[in-house]
Amino acid sequence: MTAEEKTPKMPSRVDELIAALGAPEWCVRVQAVEALGRIGDPRAVELLIQILGDPEWYARLKAAEALGKIGDPRAVKPLIRALGDPESYVRTEAVEALRKIGSPWTVEPLIAALGDPDAAVRREAAQELGEIGDRRAVEPLVRMLKDESNEARWATVRALGRIKAPLAVEPFILALAACRRGNDHGIPTNKLASTFGVYTA
């Protein structure tokens, strides 16, 4: 037996962090999740998926964030399930992670997230659908122009502007007219209108 064979293999930094995901202290688990997200090693994906079921909501949020950074398609279905998390912050991060992974599977769950009871989740879903640009989202986004949240409506206007679907032009103009009557966010409506080639005086 050679000296090299006698020397036990030292665990790597990733191995140590993966082991720390099982720590009883939630703050240790969170630190390990954050570090694994920064490193981006796909060996961590399955265990990070398990952390999406952690009893501590902040650990679940960080797991969704880390999975989005790694971008492994194995995380898509677990992240879709995370859209049903009881904590809205986790749902919002799951939306962002799905957008980063960019799987064709993500469009329908993001459309479903437009009906989330939390306005921040609806806003994030509208924003991500605009960035993806899939026209399946147009009709649900048009309905979102009547959302009770100003921020969700503005995210929807921007999303429709990105997609530039003909179906959205008329409701887009009506939304712009409403915004011009009461724009309290300092958003330049003329600039938004130009994305559709719409002239506003």
pLDDT score recorded for residue 180: 59
Q: Which two tokens stand for residue 166?
A: 């003909």
Within a domain: 3: no
pLDDT tens digits in sequence order for the chain, 201 residues long:
454 455 455 458 888 998 898 889 999 999 999 999 999 989 999 999 999 999 999 999 999 999 999 999 999 999 999 999 999 999 999 999 998 887 778 889 999 999 999 999 999 999 999 988 888 899 999 899 889 998 898 898 888 888 876 666 666 666 666 655 555 444 445 545 555 554 444
Cα 171 from Cα 28, distance rounded (Å) = 49
Rounded CA separation 103/64 (Å): 15
Number of domains in the chain: 1
CA 127: distance to chain centroid? 9
Q: Which two tokens stand for residue 188?
A: 């330049």
Structural domain boundaries, residue 135:
11-194
- Look at residue 177 in the predicted model and tell me its pLDDT: 63
Confirm whether 132 is domain-assigned.
yes
Instruction: Say what the pTM is.
Output: 0.73
User: Cβ(52)–Cβ(63) under 8 Å?
Assistant: yes
Q: At what angle do helices 119-132 and 88-101 cross, to 10 degrees?
A: 0
**Does the residue 23 lie in any domain?**
yes
